[in-house]
């Protein structure tokens, strides 16, 4: 079995690319979605987050997303510490998930694949990139954030160029869905060649 890391910044369309891989029969573990679930359901992780950010990190049993965002995106050190705490829980959860998979290629989607060190467990990596204009438009439509809120988050992310230079493959999500599907299919063929697979 080969693990392929899929990464990219906000608004590039990682989830859309991941869904296409899934539709093609390649299981996808979404680190970001599972992290949010674990932050609510994993008592040990929840306790560590409260120790780091205080009791206001939760409203009842739910994450206080606005409070957490306000804290970590204005303080790079807090963001780094939270990422470390959450990454450990995600790493353990991924290990359980991957042990149940039978596909020869599995995809691990993560916004912070390199920053968290998750790439070390991958056999290959893919960057998804898009123009800044398209990214901003997607984020505004999806999340309803202001330009300031978006920039607060983007300044804490690695540049697309840096991510692209670290990955084995790159998908440019600047056109329509058909173009994207074609690029994913092309990347699948490249992965098969890279891993010397006939799947």
Q: Is 16 annotated as a binding residue?
A: yes
| pLDDT recorded at residue 68 | 94
| pLDDT recorded at residue 199 | 54
pLDDT less than 70: residues of the chain: 199
Q: Is 11 annotated as a binding residue?
A: yes
| pLDDT recorded at residue 6 | 98
| pLDDT recorded at residue 136 | 86
| pLDDT recorded at residue 91 | 95
Distance CA 187, CA 132 (A): 23
Q: Is 14 annotated as a binding residue?
A: yes
**Strand 124-129 versus strand 2-7 pairing type:** parallel
| pLDDT recorded at residue 143 | 82
Distance CA 185, CA 170 (A): 12
| pLDDT recorded at residue 155 | 79
Please report the domains of the chain, with CATH numbers, ordered by start residue: 1-27+107-190 (3.40.50.300), 33-100 (3.40.50.300)
| pLDDT recorded at residue 20 | 98
% of residues, the chain, pLDDT over 70: 99
Region of 169 please: left (phi>0), alpha (psi -120 to 50) or beta. beta
Q: Is 13 annotated as a binding residue?
A: yes
Q: What is the pLDDT of residues 88-102, one digit of tens each?
A: 999 999 999 999 999
Lookup: tokens for 120? 């070390």
Cα–Cα–Cα angle for 59, 63, 69, nearest 5°?
A: 110
Distance CA 108, CA 66 (A): 27
Lookup: tokens for 9? 């910044």
Distance CA 71, CA 156 (A): 13
Residue (of 160, 66, 67, 78) closest to 111 by Cα position: 160
Q: What is the pLDDT of residues 180-193, one digit of tens each?
A: 999 999 999 999 99
């Amino acid at each position: 079995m080969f693990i392929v890391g899929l990464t990219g910044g906000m608004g590039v369309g990682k989830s859309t690319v991941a869904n296409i891989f899934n539709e093609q029969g390649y299981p996808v573990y979404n680190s970001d979605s599972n992290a949010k679930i674990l932050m609510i359901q994993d008592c040990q992780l929840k306790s560590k987050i409260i120790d780091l950010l205080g009791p206001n990190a939760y409203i009842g049993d739910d994450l206080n997303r606005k409070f957490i965002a306000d804290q970590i995106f204005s303080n790079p050190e807090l963001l780094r510490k939270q990422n470390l705490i959450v990454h450990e829980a995600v790493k353990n959860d991924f290990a359980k998930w991957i042990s149940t998979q039978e596909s020869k290629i599995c995809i691990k989607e993560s916004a912070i694949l390199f920053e968290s060190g998750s790439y070390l467990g991958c056999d290959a990596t893919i960057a998804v990139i898009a123009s800044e204009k398209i990214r901003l438009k997607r984020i505004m439509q999806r999340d309803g954030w202001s330009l300031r809120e978006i920039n607060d988050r983007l300044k804490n992310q690695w540049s697309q160029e840096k991510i692209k230079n670290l990955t084995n493959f790159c998908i440019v999500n600047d056109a329509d869905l058909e173009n994207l599907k074609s690029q994913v299919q092309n990347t699948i063929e490249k992965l098969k060649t890279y891993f010397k697979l006939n799947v």
